[in-house]
Amino acid sequence: MMGTSGKSEDIIILSDEEDDKDTSCLIVEVEAVKKTVGVLPVSPQDEDLVVTFSRRPDVLPHARYDCPIHLFMPTDCERTAPMANNQLICDQCFCYVCDKLASLCEMWCCSGECHCNSHNKSDFWNGVRNTALLGDLQRFNLTLSEVDHRLRNAGAKRLHALNRVWSF
């Protein structure tokens, strides 16, 4: 009887070792899945979106001035240096001027540019944003008057649609 109980203790020790092996097997499987996911995304942009989304699923992408994490200090046209904590960003902060992730903005707190201070309540910053967006359109060989005409048309159509919505 004593001998048998001794053997059962040996069996318990063996099963502990098996548990350890199971754990290491699990880690290997998780790493394999991560590698597969890394290969799947179609474009690098998609991959970035997936990664940032999985980090903070509770915060949607937003302009820096709308950041729920870092308080924004609005100014009229400050470009020489970041105001207060305006240079701070979270994973989902977008540059209002560049229309891309603040972490990718090359002029975020660059003296003389300071996109981190930009916001939509300032005529100055709206002007900077429009110029930046027009710069992109000019690459497609559109003249300024053409762009202006198209923007006005688009605005008129939107107003027309809104009026129709309200009248019903």
Residues near Zn ion (CB under 5 A): 67, 90, 93, 95, 97-98, 105, 115
Give CA–CA dist 159/153, Å, rounded: 10
The position carrying tokens 């820096």 is: 64
Give CA–CA dist 137/144, Å, rounded: 9
- For 100, phi then psi, to 5°, come to -145, 170
Give CA–CA dist 110/45, Å, rounded: 25
Smallest distance from Zn ion to CB 22, Å: 41
Nearer to Zn ion, 105 or 122 (CB): 105
Task: Give residue 128's identity as a one-letter amino acid code.
Answer: V
Smallest distance from Zn ion to CB 36, Å: 31
Smallest distance from Zn ion to CB 59, Å: 7
- b/e sequence 58-75, b meaning 16+ C-beta within 10 Å: ebeeebbbebeeeebebb
Nearer to Zn ion, 86 or 97 (CB): 97
Nearer to Zn ion, 98 or 122 (CB): 98
Smallest distance from Zn ion to CB 126, Å: 14
Smallest distance from Zn ion to CB 38, Å: 26
**By the 8 A CB rule, do 13 and 20 touch?**
no
At CA 71, angle to CA 68 and CA 72, rounded to 5?
110
Nearer to Zn ion, 115 or 119 (CB): 115
Nearer to Zn ion, 131 or 163 (CB): 131
